[in-house]
Amino acid sequence: MKRSTAVLAACAVALGSAATITLPNAVAAAQGCKVDYTVTSQWSGGFQAGVKVTNLGDTISGWSLTIAFPNTSQRVSQGWNATWTQSGSTATATNVDWNRTLGTGGSTDLGFVGSYSGSNPTPTSFALNGVVCTGSTTSTSTTTTTTTTTTTNPPVGRTPVEINGQLRVCGVNLCNQYNRPIQLRGMSTHGIQWFDKCYNTNSLNALANDWKSDLFRIAMYVQEQGYETNPSGFTNRVNSLVDMAEARGMYAMIDFHILTPGDPNYNIDRAKTFFAAVAQRNAAKKNVIYEIANEPNGVSWASIKSYAEQVIPVIRAADPDAVVIVGTRAWSSLGVSEGSNESEVINNPVNATNIMYAFHFYAASHKDNYRAAVSRAAQRLPLFVTEFGTVLATGGGTFDRASTVAWLDLLDSLKIGYANWTYSDANESSAALRPGTCNGGDYSSSGVLTESGALLKSRISTTDNFPTS
């Protein structure tokens, strides 16, 4: 339903963290570069780290970042947003296609999972294309910098993930670690192949802290300049966004965004490859939800069910506990948009446990008969509105406040979670942010919000009141 001709955006974001570690007495060469190295989690014999590299010199097209560890016990076992290699105590991250160019002041975020023995000390130095990088300065001078340590403050109070923990499906509800029904409310990205610059440190901080979002849906298109063009690159980017959501206490919904063609079986091999990778990598996390087929269309429920029953076991092999969401017929309308209704799913459910079914609506196009279908289905099926818009099904048209409010009131009464399309500055009326917002650092004030964005922020930021007993 949402088509875009937006230009592919380069990645320029930062990973969240508990503490940023900076390097003492590092000297910047005349060209200049800066690295922020962050240990995001650590366990016995292993750790995960984020590396933000900023180019302070002239624009470069093609780069390698070397990381000098104190000894050979520290090994990179898996990395993302770059091609990673290691020789001795030096690891090297080489650009991938979508982040090969770094303009002056431009930055990109990398990350890796590593192993170690004994203690896990900070790397001794970094170099970008042979230029030694500083740890804290933003100057290109050759003066010696002083050591500083900064801390990123977590959101005020306990986060949604801290409160609710590992989620599960119980009856027709999504339940938390206390087996109590909850509702998650949040926002969806636009296609990350087009609007990647919108998903950075500032925007996710705003989403978690100002919008008080419980959920961040990551829309990874399969076609339309998406996953099929660069499977490893898109897989790595999805994983990095999962990490960013986790660091801020939000649930991350990994959306395998099938739209055209509408038969998910066309992409079944890609789906198995992708979900095997992300499930294995994120299995230990409590914040991940898998959405395996965004909007099947022009295809029978039996075909969608067959697809789901082949993909879900791939996820379960690595991640047996996470909630999986199955798209429904006719652009995830429970079949309503193609003349059917919820009975086809009720009478022939997917043969799997701990699953939910997706429902999508666009408020200006889908009104009373769609709300009636959801009201009926919610008595028999666990539903999640993984995508909805406040406008027409095209993603454009006039903002329909009355229908949107009616929908949100219904979802609140039924404790059905939702993600709004979209947390982006796309030049379409479904976007929450005004065009050009993602070029700056403000993602919350009234000056950058569209009518749709202002309404959604006001609804999402109200108190969740998650039950714990």
Torsion sign over Cα 430, 268, 167, 318: negative
Q: Are 168 and 258 in contact (CB under 8 A)?
A: no
Q: Are 332 and 377 in contact (CB under 8 A)?
A: no
Mean pLDDT calculated for residue range 376-384: 96
Report pLDDT for 148. Answer: 29
HSE on the CB side for 154, CA within 13 Å? 16
Q: How far apart (Å, rounded) are the C-alpha atoms in residues 234 and 108?
A: 15
The reply to whether 191 falls in a domain is yes
Q: What is the CATH number of the domain that holds 298?
A: 3.20.20.80
Contacting residues for 320 by C-beta, under 8 A, at least 6 apart: none
Report pLDDT for 23. Answer: 40
Is the per-residue pLDDT at 199 higher than 70? yes
Q: What percent of the chain has pLDDT over 90?
A: 68
pLDDT, tens digit (0-9, with 9 covering 90-100), for 179-189:
999 999 999 99
Active site residue 228: no
214 and 317 assigned to the same domain: yes
pLDDT, tens digit (0-9, with 9 covering 90-100), for 290-313:
999 999 999 999 999 999 999 999
The residue behind tokens 């950058």 is: 448
Is the per-residue pLDDT at 41 higher than 90? no
Domain that holds residue 114: 33-132
290 and 427 assigned to the same domain: yes
Report pLDDT for 56. Answer: 84
Report pLDDT for 121. Answer: 73
Q: How far apart (Å, rounded) are the C-alpha atoms in residues 307 and 317?
A: 16
Nearest in space to 223 (alpha carbons), one of 213, 215, 210, 234: 234
The reply to whether 63 falls in a domain is yes
Highest-pLDDT range among 41-45, 145-149, 247-251: 247-251
Report pLDDT for 329. Answer: 97
Q: What is the CATH number of the domain that holds 49?
A: 2.60.40.290
Q: How far apart (Å, rounded) are the C-alpha atoms in residues 309 and 48?
A: 33
The reply to whether 300 falls in a domain is yes
Selected residue with higher pLDDT from 165 and 53 = 165
Q: Which two tokens stand for residue 270?
A: 């890609």
The reply to whether 413 falls in a domain is yes
Q: Which two tokens stand for residue 72?
A: 């050979």
At residue 30 the predicted structure's pLDDT band, cuts being 50, 70 and 90, is very low
Question: What does pLDDT average to over the chain?
Answer: 86
pLDDT, tens digit (0-9, with 9 covering 90-100), for 100-125:
888 888 878 777 878 888 777 788 88
Active site residue 387: yes
177 and 275 assigned to the same domain: yes
pTM of the model: 0.69
Mean pLDDT calculated for residue range 438-451: 95
360 and 436 assigned to the same domain: yes
117 and 167 assigned to the same domain: no
The reply to whether 145 falls in a domain is no
The reply to whether 25 falls in a domain is no
74 and 212 assigned to the same domain: no
432 and 315 assigned to the same domain: yes
The distance of Cα 464 from the centroid of its chain, to the nearest Å, equals 21
Selected residue with higher pLDDT from 9 and 76 = 76
Q: Are 296 and 264 in contact (CB under 8 A)?
A: yes
77 and 192 assigned to the same domain: no
Q: Which amino acid is at 301?
A: W
39 and 106 assigned to the same domain: yes
At residue 43 the predicted structure's pLDDT band, cuts being 50, 70 and 90, is low
404 and 340 assigned to the same domain: yes
Provide the 8-state DSSP code for 337. G
Helix axes 368-377, 401-414, angle to 10 degrees: 10
Q: Structurally, how many domains does the chain consist of?
A: 2
Q: Which residues pair with 41 in a beta bridge?
A: 48
Q: Are 410 and 371 in contact (CB under 8 A)?
A: yes
169 and 121 assigned to the same domain: no
Selecting among 246, 291, 295, 344, the annotated active-site residue is 295
At residue 5 the predicted structure's pLDDT band, cuts being 50, 70 and 90, is very low
45 and 179 assigned to the same domain: no
Report pLDDT for 370. Answer: 96
pLDDT, tens digit (0-9, with 9 covering 90-100), for 266-288:
999 999 999 999 999 999 999 99
At residue 211 the predicted structure's pLDDT band, cuts being 50, 70 and 90, is very high
